[in-house]
């Protein structure tokens, strides 16, 4: 299915604000359901990466170079998490100041979101994965920010700027002539990021990193839906 360009750019923004609005107006307390949603999003994104992105980047390109960029994406995400403290996969360990914009958190999340937007151009299926990934992450991030000492105006500025990063990555990818010949390298980098994020989500979304039946069923459901997308 081919999406109109406006939908590709708007959908990730709507996903972020949907997660924020859900937290703002419902004030959820059941973290178990949020963890299940995270597990589903991790499994769905990981499966789409295997089904859609991996075959695409390896076709007609040097396998070792592709592998190096995928590993580079994994290392990039590990580096970013020194500053975000795991916000990309719903794990927050940051003490925010009342009137100070969390610049390091914003920059690390922004780089992650920009890389996320690259493979959306020319690959519509991965857009589903990004949207489903964005909603639970936005929920966890919003819970953390709204429970912090930050003022609401600063939080809204943070969420607004963050919501624009993935569409910006997609826009640059679509408009850049360099991407026509080297886009597979940045897509490989994004694959590494997706690998790291999704596997961490799967292992962290249950108490004590233990698998339970509900989580296993949710993971199987995520993989199954991704297969038919």
Mind listing the pLDDT tens digit for each residue in 186-225?
999 999 999 999 988 887 655 554 557 888 899 999 999 9
Which pLDDT belongs to residue 14? 96
Which pLDDT belongs to residue 91? 59
> What does the pLDDT look like over 125-171, one tens digit per residue?
899 999 999 999 899 899 888 888 788 998 999 999 999 999 999 99
pTM, two decimals, is 0.88
Residues counted in the chain: 229
Location of structure tokens 């859900």: 22
Look at residues 192, 179, 193, 200 and name the one whose alpha carbon lies nearest to residue 65. Answer: 192
Which pLDDT belongs to residue 88? 64
Which pLDDT belongs to residue 96? 61
């Amino acid at each position: 299915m081919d999406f109109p360009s406006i939908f590709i750019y708007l959908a990730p923004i709507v996903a972020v604000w949907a997660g924020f609005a859900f937290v703002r107006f419902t004030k959820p307390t059941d973290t178990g359901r949020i963890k299940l949603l995270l597990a589903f999003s991790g499994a769905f994104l990981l499966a789409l990466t295997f089904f859609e992105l991996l075959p695409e980047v390896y076709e007609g390109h040097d396998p070792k170079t592709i592998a190096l960029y995928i590993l580079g994406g994994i290392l990039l995400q590990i580096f970013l998490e020194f500053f975000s403290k795991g916000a990309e996969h719903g794990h927050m360990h940051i003490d925010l100041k009342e009137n100070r914009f969390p610049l390091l958190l914003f920059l690390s999340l922004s780089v992650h979101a920009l890389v996320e937007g690259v493979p959306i151009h020319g690959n519509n299926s991965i857009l589903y994965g990004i949207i489903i990934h964005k909603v639970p992450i936005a929920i966890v991030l919003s819970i953390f920010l709204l429970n912090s000492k930050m003022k609401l105006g600063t939080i809204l500025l943070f969420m607004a700027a963050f919501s624009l990063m993935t569409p910006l990555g997609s826009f640059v990818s679509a408009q850049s002539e360099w991407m026509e010949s080297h886009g597979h390298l940045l897509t490989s980098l994004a694959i590494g990021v997706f690998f790291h994020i999704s596997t961490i989500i799967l292992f962290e979304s249950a108490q004590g990193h233990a698998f339970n039946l509900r989580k296993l069923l949710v993971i199987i459901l995520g993989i199954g839906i991704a297969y038919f997308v």
